[in-house]
Structure 1
Amino acid sequence: MDPSARATFNRHFTTEKYEGFLTRLNDGLRNPVLFRVAETPVFLADDFRDKLMAAGEGIMDTILQAGFKELTERSIPDKWRLPNENAHPHFIALDFGVCKDADGRIVPKLIELQGFPSLYGFQVHLGNTYREVFNIDTNKTIYFNGLNDQSYFDLLKKTILGPYQPDEVVLMDVNAPEQKTSVDFYITQRYLGIPVISLSDLLQQGDQLFYEANGQKKRIRRMYNRLIFDEIDGDENIFDKVVDIRQPLDVEWITHPNWFYRISKFTMPYLHGDYIPKTRFLHQVTPIPTDLENYVLKPLFSFAGQGVIIDVTADDINNITDPENWILQQKVNYEPVVQAPDGGVKAEIRLLYLWPDGDAKPTLAINLARLSRGKMIGVRYNQNFDWVGGTIAFMQR
């Protein structure tokens, strides 16, 4: 981490300034931000930024290799496999914990990855608000690869809109206005001009989809998909009430739902490198390691940390009836590198890639960061703490 930038920020930080930051952040939004936003951004040192980028490149090499689709066929549950899958995902997110290696160096370690969108709109608003309120040095940026606000949004438009007009592309989630991430939906709408709709708003005629606007039916050419099937998996009758989006429909998915599974925890055992924790499918683990305190057990088909077993025992492993659907992953120990006024805070950095049609490979574009004092990153582990929550990393231009 960048100690000089941290010292400068902390020296000028006040609770009143943070409260003013939250007011500015929510000003003009359709609804206030529904998740905790941290008191501070993260400041990356050049060396750590370069390690993050190198780690990401190594993972992209695996995703770009011939046969990746065949390798990940088993990752897609039959119940949620959709037809008309495209050649590549349009969004990739890589989550890295900030850790310390055996030699005492600060290094990134991959936690999870997903072929699914993240807060591509909100993060720009968040970064700009931190910069304005806390007077962040103009030589620092939230972007990679030389991008700025204008070129970033050009790339985002190219990815999401493609050749279509904004009213031909919809951002869709199961119940969009009520999602905790809805702030991102409406900021994206502001930047791109696309409508935000819920699953129940979809109208079907033949194999075509429509939505209603101002009393008129509008044809949907592209669906910027924000729906995670786990959110509707518990409702067995969901598609009796809404359009069954698993049909062969004449619509482009940005990104196709199958990629949510292909690029996920399922991919971890196929990744190798200095910044990748050792990971194996549980049914391939023989014998059971004697140092289970150094491992974490994760179900493949869950999200938001559900079902993860942190303190693993041999009984936990022996009691699992579908070991092919679990991974045993070397435990990643976060280092509390972000200095708050009352001590260190752990950090996680998410690299966000965009891959529009026509590009040979994804572009590392922007980032998301999360701060934690709890046992794990996430809201449920950080109740009643300060200097935790969602944030963004700044780095030297």
Structure 2
Amino acid sequence: MISGVREAFNRDFKQSYYEGLQQEVLQTFGEPCPFRISETPVFIDREMKKKVLDACEAILEQLDQLEFEEVRQRFMPKHLHSPTPVGNPHFLGIDFGICQDEEGNLSPQLIELQAFPSLFCYQPFLAKAFKKHYPNLPDKGYHYLLGGHTEETYFNTLREVILGEEDPENVILMEIYPEKQKTRIDFSATQQALGIAVVCMTKIIKEGKQLYYEKDGRKIRISRIYNRVIFDDLYQFKDLKTNFNLFDDLDVEWITNPDWFFMISKCIMPMLSHESVPNSYYLDEIPKDIDLSEYVLKPLFSFAGKGVNLEPTWELLNSIEDRKNYMLQQKVTYAPLIKTNTDKNAKVELRILYIWSEEEGKLKPVVNLTRMGKGPMINVSHLTNDSWIGSSISFFED
């Protein structure tokens, strides 16, 4: 998006820079990154930065107007409602595809919302690794952090949200079999940055309403859970045995409450309206004259393991009985805008990561997560045999 910077970066790129970055990952975390890292960051100009952040603010304003208790009652199965106070969403990711219209104009188009923590500790590491090993990066005028943050203020903010006033020993990052997750590199980065334990949900002990984990032969009370368990994932593990579930009445503080994942990540796209928000409809509210070729079918809750259908038909739609738990979302066309040192340009998906500010009583942008791909869908877990694709980070022009 900034042709001069991109051309200079590509011209001066050396494979040894990329190998140095990969070695930095290995030395820091004791293993290679479980998902592919792109050879390049993305450089975003002021115009696109403004479009993205303006769209984010418009979306946040609409979120503020929603009655989330009504959303919860309408969409969430009653047995999944958390008995603990929902509070505020501590985290939010707003995902955009950088797209191109018929006239060649670039714009951010909303792909999804994610009221769930993302790679908050790994992304700053990745940005620093790029800066350390790539002398062909611009010296000044570009930043990966948002909201005026420095690295110090960023981690202070993250520490305040996750730890609060608790001793780090009484705060855990919880996941299902964390050692098997592709995001485990962020778990390690979080452990290094905050000093909290990474604990598998299957190893947590429940006594009454209190939870504990064991460390060095000691049983330690859990006061706060930095939750990284996605409820959908529980269905992938047959015969999973735990001493509690996410919706028990517990004497613990969730960072963030599991209900937010359902209420924002799953349910509300058709309630939003903006030039950067593709049209979407709940399946029981679709217009009769809709052109299905322009839409994808998405389940709100994928408990049955059914995923996205890129080519829905009327026959398929008419066969769905639980229509209120599906939606149609208008397709968008990712722009192959990143010139690479290969025969194909790369496409970009940009996630702006937000953290709740108690002082301001609102979500604030802090950092970004960027993914690159060359296929019809961007997924860092697939198409890994290609190059100049994968996980990355964007540097925004000041």
Matched with 1:148 is: 150
Alpha-carbon distance in structure 2 between the residues aligned to 1:357 and 1:124: 22
The aligned residue for residue 3 of structure 2 is 3
Are the aligned partners of 1:203 and 1:210 in contact in 2 as well (CA < 8 Å)? yes
1:307 is aligned to 2:307: yes
- Deviations along 1:122-179, whole A, 9 cap, x unmatched? 0011011111111322321101111111111011011111111111110000111221
The one-letter amino acid of 1:386's match is: S
- TM-score in terms of structure 1 length: 0.94
CA distance in 2: counterparts of 1:372 and 1:298, whole angstroms? 21
Give the aligned residue type for 1:122: Y
Whole-angstrom CA distance in 2 between matches of 1:141 and 1:163? 30
**Amino acid paired to 2:323:** P
For 1:186 and 1:244, the matched residues in 2 are separated by 24
Residue pair 1:30, 1:186 contacting (<8 A) in 2 also? no
Where in structure 2 are there 5+ consecutive unaligned residues? none
In 2: Cα distance, 1:373 partner to 1:215 partner = 49
State how far apart, in whole Å, the 2-side matches of 1:299 and 1:125 are.
Answer: 34
Structure 1 equivalent of residue 120 of structure 2: 120
Aligned length, in residue pairs: 394
Question: For residues 244 and 220 of structure 2, what CA distance do their matches in structure 1 show?
Answer: 16
Contact 2:353 2:368 in 1 (8 A): yes
Alignment of 1:337-356 (within 5 A): 337-341=337-341, 342-356=343-357
1:69 aligned partner: 69
The corresponding residue for 2:44 is: 44
Q: Is the 8 A contact 1:158 1:356 kept in 2?
A: no
Q: Is the 8 A contact 1:72 1:267 kept in 2?
A: no
TM-superposed deviation, 1:235: 5.1
Q: How does 1:221-236 map to 2 (within 5 A)?
A: 221-234=223-236
- Which shifted more, 194-203 or 361-370? 194-203
SS at match of 1:339: coil
Match of 2:141 in 1: 139
1:250 paired with 2:279, answer: no
Classify the secondary structure of the residue corresponding to 1:172.
strand
Residue 70 of structure 2 aligns with an amino acid whose one-letter code is E
The alpha-carbon distance between structure 1 residues 42 and 235, as it changes in their structure 2 partners (threshold 3 A), is: closer
Contact 2:370-2:392 at 8 Å conserved across structures: yes
| Residues 311 and 383 (structure 1), Cα distance of their counterparts in 2 relative to 1, 3 Å cut | farther
**Match for residue 204 of structure 1?**
206
1:364, distance to aligned residue in structure 2 (A): 0.4
CA distance in 2 between partners of 1:84 and 1:364 (Å): 27
CA deviation after TM superposition for structure 1 residue 80, in Å: 2.9
What is the letter of the counterpart of residue 3 of structure 2?
A: P
Q: Which moved more, 1:363-372 or 1:11-20?
A: 11-20
| Rounded Cα–Cα distance in structure 2 between residues aligned with 1:161 and 1:380 | 31
Counterpart of 2:265 in structure 1 is 264
The 3-state SS of whatever aligns with 2:22 is helix
Q: Note if contact 1:9-1:134 (Cα within 8 Å) is conserved in structure 2.
A: no
Moved more, 217-226 or 10-19: 10-19
- Cα gap change, 1:131 to 1:306, in 2 (>3 Å): farther
Report sequence identity in percent. Answer: 38
TM-score, length basis structure 2:
0.94
**Aligned ranges for residues 213-224 of structure 1 at < 5 Å?**
213-224=215-226
- In structure 1, distance between residues paired with 2:161 and 2:26: 27
Q: Match for residue 285 of structure 1?
A: 286
Match of 1:367 in 2: 368
**Over residues 259-295 of structure 1, what are the superposed CA-to-partner deviations in whole Å (9 max), with x where a residue is unaligned?**
0011124110011011000011011013151x32211
Change (3 A) 1:118 1:197: same
Distance of 2:44 and 2:372 partners within structure 1: 14
> What displacement does 1:381 show?
4.7
